[in-house]
Structure formats: structure tokens, C-alpha cells
Amino acid sequence: MLRAILKVFQSALAATGIIGSRVRENQGHEDRETVSRVSLKSLSQQLGLSQTTVSRALNGFPEVSERTRERVVAAARQMNYRPNNSAANLATGRTGQIGHVIPLSQHMMINPHFADFLAGAGEHYSQAGYDALLRVVSTQDEEDVYRDFAGRNRVDGVVVHGPEVNDARIDLLRSLDVPFIVHGRSDTVDGDYSWLDVNNARAFRRAVDCLVDLGHRRIALVNGLETMNFAARRRAGFCEGLEANGLTIDATLMTSADMNEPYGYDATLGFLRLRNPPTAIIYASILPAMGGHRALSEAGQTLGEDVSVITYDDQLSFLRPLETGGLPLFTSLRSSIQAAGRRAAQMLIEQITADDDTPRQELWEADLVLGRSTRPVRQSRAA
């Protein structure tokens, strides 16, 4: 890659000596932006009050007289006072930060599912006066990060992403005594923790039923990585649906991998090459579904007409709405991952502020939305 380093020019340093005297002498009280390292001390001196009173007035304690509070609030705004975060944390033990660990690895299902979750969570965080603290690490270092977060008191709580079928992080966080919520669940772990999950098994069961109703009998599954709990449940629901409808489970019609566009493309091409290809395909995310769409197009097959498709749709914001002629492109199981983030954040913060250990648990059902990608199986191709 060609990289041109532009010239870097030295700026003339205005010799301001800002570092030394932190508070500006602001005689003229203009609305000028100040560098503003006004402390509680200076503010209280300015007002002729004690730090205690000023702190109480600002934090809404009831015993402060209204007149005093008004004076204090006005002065604080004028001097652009903001309490130093570290100092407040040190005194209260609360940080106002929620930790998110992002494992940097092959099978990170974070991108962009994670981004959308975070957008939703962040929305609630800022409403509630919190920030998200992000740490990107290699997967094997993830547990150390939790120990670090806990030991250094960096966060008030943690969100666990992408739980595996048997996820060690849950017990670790319990032992660290850090409030946390899991986005998803971990089935082989003692279930006494907070989580927000979608009913993945039922969603995929429904998808199968729907396709069977249309006459399909060879149905394929392009699943996520099945070490992940959500993917394991989806497969379980899928198989349950096949069996309930008297169909046999065919391993050649099931794939499992990290959910991205090229994977969907490759898996779909693989199905098309079978001597007895499926007449319907279920995708675990809209990303591989798009890859599937691309593969079908290139193979000269028409979505819906030649092959029926149902996809699980997290309603990723940069793909919504995906439609053709006003109708959804894909028949899909929908559940907004951004909404999940918003709600999970709310549950976690409630748990933190309530300071009780009762687990919060919520199970969402996905909506089945009909689009152009499902049709009755063509007679010539029915098994």
C-alpha cells in the first residue's frame, strides 16, 4: 500500500501556561468557552459556601434551601463547573461505566451485529448517565479482562456477548461479584443469572413448519457457529421441526460457520451442486442470506421461484429495509438486535442501581414476516 506521509508542521505555541493555574481569571464573565478545570473548592470559595453545601446543592439533596440551591446552580453553570469523574468515583465507588469485551478472532460474531447491539445499549446508557467501556482483546485473554475490570474497579457492570453452549465467563463473573447481563444464554451453566435472549429454537422450528406447509421437503440450514449457544439452539429447533414433520435429518444440508456474506455465498453454491439440491434454505442471518441471494442469481436461479428462502433477520440498521417493489426481499424471522441492546442495558442498570442480586431474564419471540422469497415448491422438484 502506498502511503504518503504529509509534512508535519510545527505550530506556534501560544505560551499560555495553562497547566499551572488551572482556573481562569474570568473577570468579564463572558460566555467564552473556558478550559474549565473548576473544582468544587474554587466554586465554593467563589460562593462563600462550604464544599459540602455546594456538593449537596448540586446533587439534589433535600436539606439545602431553595435559595441557596439556585445560587449554587447558577454559579456552577456560569463557571462551567463539572465534577471530576475520578474523584467522584473514588468517593462513591461507582464509575458510571459498563464494560464490553470484544474478542478479536476469526469467529467474532460482533461485526456488525455487535455494533447494532451497542448502538441500542448506548442509547440507554447515555439516558441513564452511563458510558460504554470497550476493550478489544484476543479471545483467550477475555477472562483476564474481567478480572482487570473488577479488580481495578473500572466498571459498574458488564455485558457478556456471544455466549457459548458452556460459557466459563458466567461463573467467573459471578465469583468476581460484578453485576452482568448475558446477551443470549449458556445452556449448560447454572441458570441463575441475568439474560436477554430470543427464542431461537422456536423461531427455527417455525421456519421449518412454514416451508413444509409450502410443500418443501428438502430444506437446508446455513447456521452460525454451533459452539455458540444461539446457533446450537437454532439447529435444535430446525431438527425438531424436520422430525415433527416426518422428514429425515440430512447432514449434507446443514452447515455451520461464522455468519458473513461470503460464507452464505459458498454454502449456497455447495447446496446447488448436490445431486439432489434442497428446494428451500434457511439462513441464520441476513448476511449469509445476502450471499445466498448472490449465489442464486449467478447460478441463474430466482429467489422464491426456484429456491425458497427464509432468513433470520436482526434488522441491522444499514440493511433496513431490504425490499423489492415494496415487499420485503426475504421472508424472515425478525427481532431487532438494537432493541435487544437497549433493553439489556436497561435491565443491567436497573440491577446495578437496585443493588439486588435477583436475576433479570427475558425471552423474546421473533416475528415471522412474509416476503418474496417463499413460494410453494415447484411440482417438478418436490421430493
Partner DNA sequence: TTGTAGGCGTTATCAG
Partner DNA sequence: CTGATAACGCCTACAA
Pick the closest to residue 318 from 296, 337, 298 (CA basis). 337
The grid cell for 127 is 439516558
User: Can you tell me the distance from the alpha carbon of 232 to that of 223, in angstroms, rounded to the nearest whole number?
Assistant: 9
Among 18, 104, 168, 370, binds DNA (CB under 7 A): 18
Among 25, 31, 63, 190, binds DNA (CB under 7 A): 63
**DSSP symbols for 164-215:** BTT-HHHHHHHHHT--EEEES--TTS---SEEEEE-HHHHHHHHHHHHHHTT
Strands (E), 96-130: 97-103
Among 52, 70, 82, 305, binds a copy of itself (CB under 8 A): 82
Among 74, 87, 244, 274, binds a copy of itself (CB under 8 A): 87
**Which of the choices a copy of itself, DNA, none does residue 55 contact, using the CB cut-off of 5 to 8 A by kind?**
DNA
Applying the rule CB under 8 A, the residues between 98 and 157 that interact with a copy of itself are 102, 104, 110-112, 114-116, 118-119, 122-123, 125-126, 131-137, 147-148, 150-154
Please report how close the Cβ of residue 158 comes to a copy of itself at its closest, in angstroms.
13
Rule CB under 8 A: say whether 77 interacts with a copy of itself: no
**Which of the choices DNA, a copy of itself, none does residue 340 contact, using the CB cut-off of 5 to 8 A by kind?**
none
Q: Estimate to the nearest angstrom the gap between the alpha carbon of 77 and the chain centroid.
A: 35
3-state class of 351 per DSSP? helix
User: Can you tell me the distance from the alpha carbon of 351 to that of 69, in angstroms, rounded to the nearest whole number?
Assistant: 31
Applying the rule CB under 7 A, the residues between 68 and 107 that interact with DNA are 68, 81-84, 87-88, 90-92
Rule CB under 8 A: say whether 21 interacts with a copy of itself: no
Please report how close the Cβ of residue 358 comes to a copy of itself at its closest, in angstroms.
6
Pick the closest to residue 348 from 361, 366, 365 (CA basis). 361
Please report how close the Cβ of residue 63 comes to a copy of itself at its closest, in angstroms.
25
User: Can you tell me the distance from the alpha carbon of 334 to that of 314, in angstroms, rounded to the nearest whole number?
Assistant: 6
Rule CB under 8 A: say whether 31 interacts with a copy of itself: no
Given a contact cutoff of 8 angstroms between Cβ atoms, the answer to whether 138 and 103 are in contact is yes
Given a contact cutoff of 8 angstroms between Cβ atoms, the answer to whether 330 and 286 are in contact is yes
Q: C-alpha dihedral over 29, 30, 35, 39, to 10 degrees? A: 30
Applying the rule CB under 8 A, the residues between 314 and 333 that interact with a copy of itself are 316-324
| Binding region for DNA (CB under 7 A) out of 54-62, 165-173, 181-189, 242-250 | 54-62
Rule CB under 7 A: say whether 154 interacts with DNA: no
**Which of the choices a copy of itself, DNA, none does residue 297 contact, using the CB cut-off of 5 to 8 A by kind?**
a copy of itself
18 vs 249 by CB, closer to DNA: 18
